[in-house]
Amino acid sequence: MRLSALRLRVSDTDRLAQFYSEALGMSVHKVGQTCRIGYHGEDADLLLMPGGGGYAPDRGQRYWKIGVTVPDVDMAAAFLQGQGVEISAPQQFLDIGYMCHLSDPEGFAIELLQHEFEGNRPEQGADPAAPFAQARIGQITLRTGDIASEDTWCRDQGMTLLSVQDVSPYGFDLHFYAFTDDTLPNPDLWAVENREWLWRRPYTTLEFQHVAGAEFAPVPDYLGIEIEGLPSPLKDAFGDPVLPR
């Protein structure tokens, strides 16, 4: 089993695929009006499907973002700025990670997350001419007010909980699940030392931003996730579609 794609409905699949290709270094495979874009590896793709156009991000929505993991966030951000892409300044966010944020041309949020914390990055870890050569879609992030139901659903599908991260200053915590039998550096799921290890994984994790008791609205342009090896379509704990590849 593998988390193989995030499905988004967009207004212009070709224009958005071009952005992800030119700005973020993804490859594009077009089938009809649908574009499958992504990196070469075992991480998930983005499946851009026609029919959207009304998307607007909102903190009250179920779908939040993708996270793209890279060896050098400063280098990646400088590259994007050179292409005229508006992007936030990289910074260390608590004991979570060194990151920055941007949006694609249709408003979908993207987080760039460095493999190491600020100050821990090795020298010459990336190529300035190709800062996304080692990039992966590291996270697909959803919001939830009921992490117990999400946990039950993920475990029922065979996913493993890899990390729980306290972000209490902002009123939430984070939970990361993946199809893997990897052994954590520290068996304590809350351990900070597991986080840089997590950002270097070659596969995509399903991340939940958990705000206890909160209710979130569905997002019509979020068409669910795709799981390679899933025998038949089903719905997740929120009711969004989960489809086989």
Helix/strand/coil percent split, the chain, to 5: 15, 40, 45
Domain of 214, CATH number, reads: 3.10.180.10
Residue 54 scores a pLDDT above 90: no
| Structural domain span for residue 28 | 2-244
Domain total for the chain?
Answer: 1
Backbone φ and ψ of 19, nearest 5°: -60, -50
94-to-40, 126, 141 alpha-carbon distances in Å: 31, 24, 18
Mean pLDDT of 178-205: 98
- pLDDT tens, position by position, 87-133: 999 999 999 999 999 999 999 999 999 999 999 999 888 888 899 99
